């Protein structure tokens, strides 16, 4: 491991806190040291308060901030004098500790300081760095880990046995450091947890961390326990998407809310999943309790998930009898599932959570396998992991969490997603917490949203094979399908029946009707497996109720689609799938309505453009977002008991009425 310190960059820092930000980002940007908000850093600064008194302030990483991107407001200022008094107490509950941290902040709006703030305060150095360095965690999870750590570091570190983060850990660190630190001490190793370094300047503290971790890496490399060999067999059996959707449904039911599920079948994952000792090494626990992720090995996809969940429930009640009546605390759904033939599934309430779980477990795989090469993987006992998972602070955080977005953990497919109503539907669904699969002929659909919860595919909806390929990729990424927005369609130029040729008729029917039939048929098995019941919203047209001359193919195709939706509502109600239709009219912020076309049509009616755009009973303008918001609402709880509805979105049309 190499130092990335750059004196030119550091020279741009104007004060000690900015140097703290700079060196923290160096640590946070290295995944071998820090993952997804893990680790914490601090700096002690002497400041003058509002009444002219000087006091020592600990600036410690605040809750919710990531070291890779942290800024100065991400460090919480807490009065050192009070922290040091707290460290002298015989006992302090974690809830009380957090309250004390909050009441001693000098900036009320700052985030809550790290639960390790007292630990940082008792270390007599200006700068303190803490990471979960993979190499150090690997060695501390070996059967003789403590002995090896002592061999590697001698008196350069104080070794702290595992204690859950919080007041008890801070108190133990204070006692051990006072009793064992020497002039050469430059760090702490917390068994099964991570490593601290410290110094009186930012560069030295950072480079001590790099040097200490490099020693651990060199130890593993010297025992051929760093590079992991990879030999795996890719299953010849085609992955059954219905199995994936079924697994997602079962996980969601166990959790009590909709979950996303993503598959990783990369070579390194398959190699780990196909290890002959997977049953033992994957069930021992995480590399560090900071990365607790419930993991289940399944010999065959979904084969014994119910038994696993029942065993977890039993363990919960045996180990947490005081919470036996509080079912809200119990979420037995595994977040990682390892399948020998398929790979690794990770679940979560959001795509961000899914990806974090996957990233953490990929690193856990590395740590486990390096430990196996170095002498054997031995994680903390299960009861220690359980304590962290149902830690009072974690449960308080869950209870405080507030209401989730109404479509969180759900998946939608939108056709015609690159523009107009379809694009607006994508945005409305994303805003409500949904993951979205977008299809469109326009290749801009692939890059129109930089959001991990969005997948766009260039796809002709009349090409059944292309649609099914997109659906397969989407389900492998998100786990299933809950909502289908049938929006793609075509509106050909005006043509009277006497001049309408067969090819034009068939083209309109193919896009507006046949493609939607195929989509509904292909999506039905997954909508049926939706944890929260499937939903279909058809974007119809005012022309269904009030057709006009010159639009025979369009009007007939939309009327047939409307009839298809009504039949689907009848047939699919038994599966809990609801099917509703919106009939928009005069939506002018779409691609077909250029300024020139609008001016021409307005002139035809003897109106201004604004008058033409509002020529409805309410004299209001209809936008794509107006239609999209109602489409998204129809997928939410407000319409949970409505199916086969036909709702106009037109500002009032006397012919429709």
User: Catalytic positions, please?
Assistant: 554
Q: Which residue from 154, 87, 85, 80 is spatially nearest to 113, judged by alpha carbons? A: 80
Rounded-to-integer distance, Cα 245 and Cα 265, Å: 17
CA angle 17, 192, 293 (to 5 degrees): 90
Tell me the two tokens of residue 50.
Answer: 């509002």
Tell me the two tokens of residue 558.
Answer: 């939309």
> CB neighbours of 342 closer than 8 A, spacing ≥ 6?
235, 239, 263, 265, 273, 301
Rounded-to-integer distance, Cα 116 and Cα 113, Å: 8
Rounded-to-integer distance, Cα 28 and Cα 227, Å: 23
Q: For helices 305-319 and 241-255, give the axis angle rounded to 10 degrees.
A: 20
Residue linked to tokens 């919960």: 316
Rounded-to-integer distance, Cα 569 and Cα 645, Å: 9
Q: Which residue from 416, 603, 565, 427 is spatially nearest to 491, judged by alpha carbons? A: 416
> Looking at residue 45, what DSSP letter applies?
E
> Looking at residue 74, what DSSP letter applies?
G
Rounded-to-integer distance, Cα 98 and Cα 83, Å: 11
Tell me the two tokens of residue 239.
Answer: 């992955």
> CB neighbours of 515 closer than 8 A, spacing ≥ 6?
415, 461, 462, 467, 488
Could you tell me if 42 and 196 are in contact, meaning their C-beta atoms sit under 8 angstroms apart? no
Q: Which residue from 165, 515, 479 is spatially nearest to 353, judged by alpha carbons? A: 479
Q: Which residue from 144, 132, 141 is spatially nearest to 213, judged by alpha carbons? A: 132
Q: Which residue from 4, 5, 3, 22 is spatially nearest to 14, judged by alpha carbons? A: 22
Residue linked to tokens 């801009």: 444
Chain centre distance of CA 520? 28
Tell me the two tokens of residue 204.
Answer: 């030295």
Label residue 466 exposed, middle or buried (CB < 10 Å: 0-12, 13-18, 19+). Answer: middle
Residue linked to tokens 């999506």: 523
Rounded-to-integer distance, Cα 268 and Cα 245, Å: 24
Could you tell me if 220 and 507 are in contact, meaning their C-beta atoms sit under 8 angstroms apart? no
Chain centre distance of CA 456? 18
Query: Count H helices, E strands: the chain?
Result: 24, 18
CA angle 534, 540, 546 (to 5 degrees): 145
Burial 398-427 (b: 16+ CB within 10 A, else e): eeeeeeeeebbbbbbbbbbbbbbbbbbbbb
Rounded-to-integer distance, Cα 111 and Cα 328, Å: 26
> Looking at residue 513, what DSSP letter applies?
I
Strand partners, 196: 130, 188
* 3-state class (DSSP) for residue 56: strand
Label residue 656 exposed, middle or buried (CB < 10 Å: 0-12, 13-18, 19+). Answer: middle
Q: Other C-beta atoms within 10 Å of 43: how many?
A: 25
């Amino acid at each position: 491991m190499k130092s990335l310190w750059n004196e030119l960059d550091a020279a741009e820092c104007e004060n000690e806190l900015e140097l703290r930000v700079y060196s923290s980002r160096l640590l946070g940007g290295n995944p071998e040291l820090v993952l997804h908000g893990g680790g914490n850093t601090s700096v002690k600064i002497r400041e003058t308060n509002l009444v002219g008194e000087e006091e020592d302030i600990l600036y410690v990483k605040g809750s919710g901030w990531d070291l890779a991107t942290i800024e100065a407001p991400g460090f919480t200022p807490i009065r050192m004098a009070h922290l040091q008094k707290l460290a002298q107490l015989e006992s302090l509950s974690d809830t009380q500790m957090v309250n004390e941290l909050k009441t001693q902040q000098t900036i009320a709006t700052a985030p809550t300081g790290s639960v390790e703030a007292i630990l940082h305060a008792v270390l007599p150095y200006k700068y303190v760095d803490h990471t979960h360095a993979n190499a150090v965690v690997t060695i501390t999870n070996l059967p003789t880990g403590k002995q090896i750590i002592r061999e590697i570091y001698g008196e350069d570190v104080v070794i702290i046995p595992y204690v859950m983060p919080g007041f008890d850990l801070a108190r133990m660190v204070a006692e051990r450091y006072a009793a064992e630190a020497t002039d050469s001490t430059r760090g702490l190793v917390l068994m099964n947890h991570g490593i601290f370094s410290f110094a009186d300047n930012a560069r030295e503290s950072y480079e001590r961390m790099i040097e200490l971790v490099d020693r651990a890496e060199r130890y593993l490399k010297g025992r051929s326990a760093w590079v992991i060999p990879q030999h795996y067999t890719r299953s010849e059996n085609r992955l059954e998407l219905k199995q994936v959707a079924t697994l997602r449904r079962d996980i969601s039911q166990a959790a009590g809310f909709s979950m996303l599920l993503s598959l990783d079948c990369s070579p390194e994952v398959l190699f780990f999943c196909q290890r002959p000792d997977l049953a033992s090494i994957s069930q021992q626990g995480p590399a560090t309790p900071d990365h607790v992720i419930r993991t289940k090995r399944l010999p065959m996809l979904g084969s014994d998930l119910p038994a696993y969940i029942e065993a977890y429930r039993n363990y919960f009640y045996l180990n947490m009898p005081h919470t036996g009546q509080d079912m809200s605390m119990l979420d037995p759904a595994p977040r990682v599932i390892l399948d020998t033939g398929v790979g690794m599934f990770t679940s979560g309430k959001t795509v961000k959570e899914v990806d974090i779980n996957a990233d953490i477990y990929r690193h856990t795989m590395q740590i486990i396998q390096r430990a196996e090469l170095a002498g054997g993987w031995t994680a903390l006992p299960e009861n220690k992991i359980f304590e962290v998972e149902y830690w009072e602070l974690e449960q308080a955080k869950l209870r405080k969490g507030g209401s989730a977005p109404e479509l969180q953990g759900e998946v939608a497919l939108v056709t015609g997603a690159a523009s107009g109503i379809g694009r607006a539907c994508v945005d409305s669904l994303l805003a409500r917490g949904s993951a979205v699969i977008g299809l469109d002929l326009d290749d801009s659909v692939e890059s129109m949203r930089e959001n991990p919860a969005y997948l766009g595919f260039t796809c002709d909806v009349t090409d059944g094979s292309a649609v099914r390929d997109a659906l397969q990729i989407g389900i492998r990424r998100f786990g299933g399908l809950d909502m289908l927005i049938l929006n793609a369609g075509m509106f050909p130029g005006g043509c009277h029946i006497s001049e309408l040729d067969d090819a034009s008729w068939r083209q309109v029917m193919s896009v507006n009707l046949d493609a939607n039939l195929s989509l509904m048929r292909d999506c039905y098995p997954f909508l049926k497996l939706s944890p929260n019941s499937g939903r279909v919203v058809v974007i119809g047209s005012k022309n269904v109720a009030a057709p006009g001359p010159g639009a025979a193919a369009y009007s007939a195709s939309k009327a047939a689609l409307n009839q298809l939706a009504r039949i689907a509502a009848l047939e699919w109600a038994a599966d809990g799938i609801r099917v509703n239709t919106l009939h928009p009219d005069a939506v002018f912020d779409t691609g077909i309505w250029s300024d020139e076309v609008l001016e021409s049509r307005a002139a035809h009616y003897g109106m201004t453009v604004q008058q033409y755009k509002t020529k409805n009973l309410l004299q209001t303008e209809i936008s794509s977002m107006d239609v999209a918001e109602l489409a998204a609402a129809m997928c939410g709880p407000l319409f949970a008991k409505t199916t086969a509805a036909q709702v106009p979105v037109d500002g009032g049309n006397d012919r429709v009425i």
